[in-house]
Structure 1
Amino acid sequence: MILLNEYISSLVPREGPILGNMYKEIEDFLKEEVKNPIPFFSTTVLLAPICEEVLFRGIILNGMLKNKIHPIKAILFSSFLFGLTHMNPWQFVGGFFIGSFIGFIYFVTSSIIDCILLHIFNNAFAVFNMFFFIKNEEISSQEIDLNFWLILTILFTIIITGSIFLLKRRRKI
């Protein structure tokens, strides 16, 4: 999901008079934030996922589900709000997508802890990915594409293997 999320977010244009300037400002901001990695990491990977999941899944989504709003509508609406709070088109798309997935997990498990852990993992992956690419900006786009497809292949292998394992385990129960 994380890699698919990253790919979908990458489809939003990063050039042009409005989006180009906005993207450049965000990129410059993140480069400054990376200079203080401990506060940046603790805020992005720990504090934000806890606060956001309590608000968007624990309060908004849970409240909508308890008020008998259709689960798909509730998940999509809470994900839309989650995406909006990130205040830029790239994180909106990614936030909506990953928020929908985490919302579905909440609907299935009713566990805010699972949602927080998924969100922490997502943000940690994004932060480590960002650190990697900021430190290695000289990597060619061809190498990035190769890495993307390699990681995507490994990810799908893990998902398929895990799904088969879970299906076999479920049938035994």
Structure 2
Amino acid sequence: MIIINEYISSLVPKEGPILGNMYKEIEEFLKEEIKNPIPFFSTTILLAPICEEVLFRGIILNGMLKNKIHPIKAILFSSFLFGLTHMNPWQLVGGMIIGSFIGFIYFITSSIIDCILLHVFNNAFAIFTMFFFLKNEDSFLSKKEVNINIGFILIIAFIIIISGSIFLLKKKKEKIQK
């Protein structure tokens, strides 16, 4: 899911008068934040996932599901709000994708702990790869020769996600029947 999320988010333009300036400002902000790694990592990898999951899955999504709002609408709406709070187009897209996935996991498992752990893992992966690429001033997704392999990786990731989703839905149906 992280690979698909990163790839789709990378399709949002990073150039132009508005998005180009915004992207440069975010990049500069992150370069400054990385200079103090302990507060940055602890906030991004621990504090944000706990607070965001409690709010977006534990309160908003759970409340919508309890009020009999269709699960797909509830998941998409809570994911849209989740993406919107990140206040930039790259994280809006990424937040909606990963938020939908985590929302689906919440719908299936009803476990806020699972959602928090997934969010922690997602943020840790994103931060450590970002840290690596900012240090090396080279972006994995900007290399032209990698684009051929991206399609293959996306197909594999998509198959894994679909298989896992089917498995989780079967588990939920079994749980409901008991």
TM-score, normalised with respect to structure 1: 0.85
Matched letter for residue 96 of structure 2: F
Q: Structure 1 residues 86, 12: closer, same or farther in 2, change over 3 A?
A: same
Give unpaired runs (5+ residues) of structure 1. Answer: none
Question: How far off is 1:154 after superposition?
Answer: 7.0
CA RMSD of aligned residues (A): 2.4
Per-residue deviation, residues 131-157 of structure 1 (Å, max 9, x unmatched): 110111256724654775686577568
**Which secondary structure state, in structure 2, belongs to the residue aligned with residue 60 of structure 1?**
helix
Separation in 2 of the partners of 1:73 and 1:24? 34
Match of 1:141 among 134, 140, 143: 143
In the alignment, which residue of structure 1 is the partner of 2:123?
A: 123
Separation in 1 of the partners of 2:147 and 2:3? 12
Aligned residues: 165
Sequence identity, in percent? Answer: 81
Give unpaired runs (5+ residues) of structure 2. Answer: none
Separation in 1 of the partners of 2:148 and 2:41? 27
In the alignment, which residue of structure 1 is the partner of 2:20?
A: 20
Separation in 1 of the partners of 2:135 and 2:151? 21
In the alignment, which residue of structure 2 is the partner of 1:88?
A: 88
Q: Structure 1 residues 136, 148: closer, same or farther in 2, change over 3 A?
A: farther
In the alignment, which residue of structure 2 is the partner of 1:108?
A: 108
Q: Structure 1 residues 62, 138: closer, same or farther in 2, change over 3 A?
A: closer
Asked which structure has the greater RCO (Cα within 8 Å, sep 6+), the reply is 2
In the alignment, which residue of structure 2 is the partner of 1:32?
A: 32
Q: Structure 1 residues 102, 127: closer, same or farther in 2, change over 3 A?
A: same
